[in-house]
Structure 1
Amino acid sequence: MKQEIERVLRKMNDLSTIEEIRQVVGGDINEAFYVRTKEEQYFIKGNSGVPSHFFKAESSGLQLIRDSHTISVPRVYYYDEPQQGEIGMLAMEWIDGQEKTHTQEKLGRNLALMHQQISDRYGFSDPTFVGELDQPNDWRDSWLDYYQDFRLNHQFNIALEKGRLPEKRKIRLEKLILNLEQWIPSSPAPSLLHGDLWGGNFIAGLEGEPFLVDPSIVYGDSAFELAFTELFGGFQSSFYEAYEEISPLPKTYEEMKPLYQLFYLLVHLNIFGESYGPPVDRILKRYVG
């Protein structure tokens, strides 16, 4: 990987001496490194098993959030669009800091401001990724249609192919998708969403400034984003209080929340296997019996 890092540095015209390369935690998918040259510090990650648009999608998502002028993201310096079997690399600004007492409060406030960036339709123009799974996208005039077709039905088809749907689960999931209009709105505000926001996808910079990383951009119901933040332990109460000061959640949020969390549980079921089957089944049983 050192040769690939040296290649990326040349692409960025940083020809100064490399003073340190060390592997860091960068998620389950990529190899990630802290790289320090005489000129700069970088976060560089790479992978030889990803589609050509994998790092482009991440870079484009970060730029879209940056352009909203609401919440901080690392600056992207370079990305590859690798062909099959080639190693692809992404080089970003190194963010170095620690959470402060105000970090999650500011994250909640800034996220609410980001969610006020509105499109005129739902979905997104380009395919993205959720974890290692491809996420196809298109524009729809109805959030309900987008969520049914591009989120739940897409994961349903992956689960079917992977053998993750025993008969009872399959029947219940089909029934829920067909009757989704009972619980999911058709026309909430089409907010700019990070799309994969859990505790591992924000980091703290200097003075505890919150930064978002690893987006899976979509324009949709802001409640979809908030539901996922609660799935794996949630954020601090200060995050939710600050968010709701700017953008109060709808009265139907608690009723919708498990149905939005269902998408992410299906993603985890399809990536990690049957350990995520029981929570999927509990949601299905609650809504369709």
Structure 2
Amino acid sequence: MPAQPCLSIMDHVLTAALEDAISAFTGKRSTLSRATPVGGGSISHSIAIEAGSARWFVKLNNAEQHELFAAEADGLRALARCLAVRVPQVVGDGIAGDRAYLILEYLPLAPLGDDTAAENAGRALAELHRMRSERFGWHRDNFIGATRQENTAEQGWPRFFAQQRLKPQLELARRNGGSDRLFRAGNRLLDAVSAFFADHHTEPSLLHGDLWQGNAALVGGQLALFDPAVYFGDREADLAMTELFGGFPHRFYAAYREAWPLAAGYEQRRTLYNLYHVLNHFNLFGGGYLRQAEGMVDALLAEIT
């Protein structure tokens, strides 16, 4: 038997809201014919929906989490201004009954391989990072995973990273059962962050902000980016995270460095930048991330003592 349309995972209020949003976006009346669960998300529930021959990607969460989606839509629109990368178009976001939703263009994603496309992707990321601002930060706070990410504008990068990246995560880790050892050593590190930038001049580049391999792919051979936590910061922070959870292909890094070489001292700053994400993973998921964070703080302090 042919597969039957399945809209049972959505109620009438949500279905109507999605249809209205898609209709406003396309300029013609859309009626949903199918909704299929999509796996892979740890924070929100995702589905693929169909209206005629068109397909859309939808994220769903509790209504009180709508700010997550509004921030994501804002970040996607910012990334889309760089024509070197492919970003899903934002169709709309809102609240329907007790659920928040975000509707995006459905992209046929392919993984990054160690080939010419990976080289093009490395150069594309360098082009994204060439988008600049006069200050570090962003025009609004947003989220790294489900954790609020502060973005108040700053002129100085070391202070911004210490006060708006590491400090909030350390304070949250303490409330979440992190060790006194981590908190004491982490605060020593906060006071010494500027030592890692004594010979490194940083200018504000547009960052994806959450750039691990699960948030990047290829569409038609072009680098596709999604699930951002955008802000203007040191471009090395994006590069560092690409190396944290499995890494990107070798040819990706070679092409990026050819397009825009990295400064001396990147390896030490890479650990500093990735500490932010490891702390966030402890705050979101607990477990062995605490010990990993402690080790990273100890290694960073050893570099400057």
- 2:19 maps to amino acid: L
Aligned residue for 1:255, secondary structure, equals: helix
The 1:97–1:172 alpha-carbon spacing in structure 2 relative to 1, beyond 3 Å, is closer
TM-score (norm 1): 0.93
Look up the match of 1:71: 85
Please show how residues 33-44 of structure 1 align to structure 2 within 5 Å. Answer: 33-44=47-58
Look up the match of 1:189: 203
CA offsets per residue over residues 228-269 of structure 1, 9 Å max, x none?
110111100011011111111111101211111100000001
Out of 153, 167, 178, the position equivalent to 1:139 is 153
Find runs of 4+ consecutive structure 1 residues off by over 6 angstroms.
none
Look up the match of 1:2: 10
Q: Which stretches in structure 1 are left out of the alignment for 5+ residues?
A: none
CA offsets per residue over residues 60-88 of structure 1, 9 Å max, x none?
111111113231101011111x49x8311
Please show how residues 1-289 of structure 1 align to structure 2 within 5 Å. Answer: 1-3=9-11, 4-13=14-23, 15-48=29-62, 50-80=64-94, 82=95, 86-99=98-111, 101-164=115-178, 166-184=179-197, 187-205=201-219, 207-289=220-302
Aligned equivalents of 1:153, 1:181: Cα separation in 2? 14
Aligned equivalents of 1:278, 1:163: Cα separation in 2? 12
TM-score (norm 2): 0.88
* Paired residues of 1:26 and 1:45 also in contact (CA < 8 A): no
Aligned equivalents of 1:226, 1:105: Cα separation in 2? 14
* Paired residues of 1:5 and 1:44 also in contact (CA < 8 A): no
* Paired residues of 2:211 and 2:238 also in contact (CA < 8 A): yes
- 1:92 maps to amino acid: L
Aligned residue for 2:125, secondary structure, equals: helix
- 2:159 maps to amino acid: D
Shift, 1:98, TM fit: 2.5
* Paired residues of 2:21 and 2:91 also in contact (CA < 8 A): no
Q: Which stretches in structure 2 are left out of the alignment for 5+ residues?
A: 1-8
* Percent pairwise identity: 29
Shift, 1:39, TM fit: 4.3
- 2:196 maps to amino acid: W
* Paired residues of 2:159 and 2:194 also in contact (CA < 8 A): no
Shift, 1:51, TM fit: 3.4
Shift, 1:176, TM fit: 0.8
Aligned equivalents of 2:31, 2:167: Cα separation in 1? 50
- 1:196 maps to amino acid: D
Q: Count the aligned residue pairs.
A: 285
Aligned residue for 1:120, secondary structure, equals: coil
Aligned residue for 2:262, secondary structure, equals: coil
RMSD: 1.9
Shift, 1:105, TM fit: 1.9
